[in-house]
């Protein structure tokens, strides 16, 4: 099939994670993404290792971190401080549908590559800025990082075990969500351009994105006025919905209704808890969480992981293992869905560079570029030739 974004060109003036994550999603969906990198240095994350992707000659092809967010792009090296480099960027912008940048607010103005300097010259350009705090407001000039955004946006205060310090999510979730929201904004602006013929300015921020995904926790607070507490792996609105101990580790049980709760109790040999009026509905189970859960946990701990999971699946009670990453990529469902990629690169040891595809399937087509992350400046000559500079 023709990829959904075939024919769309994206100019990426971004580095680290949030901006490149958006660029990679667009590349996976078929866009031609040109990554502009500082001459001689490139994206900072090229050196954010170990681990590094090994090459056949004993050197390396960049840090794994870089390859996590730059699949399917073309790389051109330019010197932003050089007027000639700035001229080339403007020429590339003239032939692009989308520009993504994650400089500090006003950081591209000195190069005359900010939105204000480009919008009139390129009226159809979709210009997307990714910053820590957005283009306006009292914190706009501050630098923003994922850890700060998780803290300031409320995510860390919700995450962790009761009585323990706040905990960040195990991946850079604020960066990732900002990259996703940037992509959504870009796609919406492209659709709007189909109607109006005009480009747009997409302003995305790490803290905005973090606040934006607080979901039911935010509404719980806004409706009740009560401050949520850290409750570890339990759920603020549903019981039982958490991890439970088993004889050989832990599993997850996620009952979403009263019927599933009854089945869970029966499977673990506690039918009396299924019939107890105190626990008959979710409101009662929430009220009596502290006395109910220990009784359930004492029963699950007597069973092995695989035995309990098999019995719960047979009764259609939502449950699952807590996998490490080896188990994730060995999982039959993950394999079947093609989440792990092996992209050909002759210089790489073993001939491929691994990746994780964008989790979108359209008419059976699994969104992923066939090309690995580029070497620094790998496509400089061909890109310059395309714009008449070769």
In the block, tokens 């904004």 appear at 185
**Cβ–Cβ under 8 Å, residues 63 and 357:** no
CA 306 – CA 256 distance, rounded (Å) = 21
What whole-number distance in Å separates Cα of residue 127 and Cα of residue 115?
7
Separation CA 213–CA 178 (nearest Å): 10
> Is 114 among the residues known to form the active site?
no
Residue 124 sits at the vertex; the CA angle it makes with 122 and 129, to the nearest 5 degrees, is: 80
Residue 123 φ then ψ, to 5°? -70, -15
How many residues in total does the chain contain? 390
Provide the 3-class DSSP secondary structure of residue 229.
coil
CA distance 90 to 170: 38
Written as one string, the DSSP assignment of 12-28 is: EE--SSHHHHHHHHHHH
28-63: burial string, b at 16+ Cβ within 10 Å, e else:
bbbbbbbbbbbbeebbebbebeeebbeeeeeebbbb
Give the rounded distance of the alpha carbon of 96 from its chain centre: 25
* H/E segment holding residue 169: none
**φ and ψ at 61, to 5 degrees?**
-110, 25
Q: What angle do CA 45, 48, 51 make, to 5 degrees?
A: 125
Residue 113: which of 125, 139, 182 has the closest Cα?
Answer: 125
H or E element that contains 172: none
Q: Is 363 exposed, middle or buried (0-12, 13-18, 19+ CB in 10 A)?
A: exposed
| DSSP, res 388 | T
C-alpha distances (whole Å) from 198 to each of 93, 146, 275 are 15, 32, 63
d(CA 186, CA 6): 15
Q: Which of 43, 114, 175, 208 is catalytic?
A: 175
Residues with a known catalytic role: 175
């Amino acid at each position: 099939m023709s990829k959904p974004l075939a024919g769309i060109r994206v100019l990426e003036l971004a580095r680290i994670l949030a901006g490149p994550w958006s660029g990679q999603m667009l590349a996976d969906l078929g866009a031609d993404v040109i990554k502009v990198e500082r001459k001689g240095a490139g994206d900072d994350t090229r050196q954010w290792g170990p681990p590094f992707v090994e090459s056949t000659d004993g050197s390396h092809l960049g840090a794994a971190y870089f390859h996590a967010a730059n699949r399917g792009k073309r790389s051109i090296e330019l010197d932003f401080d050089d007027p000639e480099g700035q001229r080339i960027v403007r020429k590339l912008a003239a032939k692009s549908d989308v520009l993504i940048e994650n400089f500090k607010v006003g950081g591209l103005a000195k190069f005359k590559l900010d939105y204000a300097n480009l919008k009139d010259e390129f009226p159809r350009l979709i210009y997307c800025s990714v910053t820590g705090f957005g283009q306006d407001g009292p914190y706009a000039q501050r630098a923003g990082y994922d850890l700060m955004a998780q803290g300031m946006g409320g995510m860390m205060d919700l995450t962790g075990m009761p009585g323990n310090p706040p905990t960040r999510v195990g991946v850079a979730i604020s960066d990732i969500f900002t990259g996703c929201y940037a992509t959504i904004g870009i796609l919406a602006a492209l659709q709007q351009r189909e109607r109006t013929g005009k480009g747009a300015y997409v302003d995305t921020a790490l803290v905005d994105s973090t606040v934006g995904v607080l979901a039911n926790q935010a509404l719980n607070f806004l409706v009740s006025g009560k401050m949520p507490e850290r409750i570890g792996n339990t759920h603020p609105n549903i019981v039982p919905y958490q991890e439970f101990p088993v004889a050989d580790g832990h599993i997850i049980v996620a009952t979403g209704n009263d019927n599933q709760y009854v089945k869970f109790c029966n499977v673990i040999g506690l039918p009396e808890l299924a019939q107890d009026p105190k626990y008959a509905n979710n409101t009662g189970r929430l009220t009596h969480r502290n006395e109910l859960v220990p009784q359930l946990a004492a029963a699950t701990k007597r069973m092995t992981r695989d035995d309990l999971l098999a019995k719960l699946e047979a009764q259609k009670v939502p449950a699952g293992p807590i996998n490490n990453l080896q188990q994730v990529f060995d999982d039959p469902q993950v394999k079947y869905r093609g989440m792990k990629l092996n992209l050909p690169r002759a210089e790489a040891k073993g001939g491929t560079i691994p990746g994780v595809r964008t989790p979108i399937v359209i008419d059976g087509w699994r969104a992923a570029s066939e090309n690995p992350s580029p070497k620094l400046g790998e496509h400089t000559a061909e890109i310059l030739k395309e714009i008449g500079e070769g």
